[in-house]
């Protein structure tokens, strides 16, 4: 079953897992050591992240390493871009208004 990436990043634990594996692949046990929860709970989060394609698994011997799928993160950035442009325009408008007010006070 494919999950939605926004469903995956809605959970703070999953966002924390993403932050952990952004620089290096980690095993589930290594990831679980960073949380005050069970290994099974971390495995459930990893499964959700894997199902939506944000995380990929790589087998090295008997170990599974999880790493971030950067291209999938770009989908999130692309979606956010539309809102980023709106806010940048609003901030630019606010800058102009504040500049005008500042000039009028002089």
Tokens 């199902």 belong to 51
Residues 6 and 44 in one domain: yes
Residues 56 and 75 in one domain: no
Token pair for residue 3?
Answer: 């999950």
Whether the predicted model's global pTM rises above the 0.85 cut: no
The pLDDT tens digits along the chain (106 residues) read 567 889 899 999 999 999 999 999 999 999 999 999 999 999 999 999 999 999 999 999 999 999 999 888 888 888 899 899 899 999 999 999 999 888 888 7
Residues 13 and 52 in one domain: yes
How many CB atoms are located within 10 Å of the residue 54 CB?
25
Q: Which domain holds residue 105?
A: 70-106
User: Residue 12: which CATH number?
Assistant: 1.10.10.10
Residues 59 and 77 in one domain: no
Residues 42 and 94 in one domain: no
Report the number of distinct structural domains present in the chain: 2
Residues 7 and 58 in one domain: yes
Crossing angle (nearest 10°) for helices 12-21 and 39-51: 80
């Amino acid at each position: 079953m494919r999950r939605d990436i926004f469903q995956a990043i809605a959970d703070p634990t999953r966002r924390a897992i993403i932050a952990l594996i952004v620089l290096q692949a980690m095993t589930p046990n290594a990831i679980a050591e960073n949380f005050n929860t069970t290994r099974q709970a971390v495995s459930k989060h990893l499964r959700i992240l894997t199902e939506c394609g944000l995380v990929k698994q790589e087998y090295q011997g008997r170990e599974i390493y999880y790493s971030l799928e950067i291209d999938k993160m770009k989908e999130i950035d692309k979606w956010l871009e539309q809102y980023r442009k709106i806010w940048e325009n609003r901030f630019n408008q606010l800058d102009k208004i504040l500049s005008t007010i500042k000039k009028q006070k002089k």
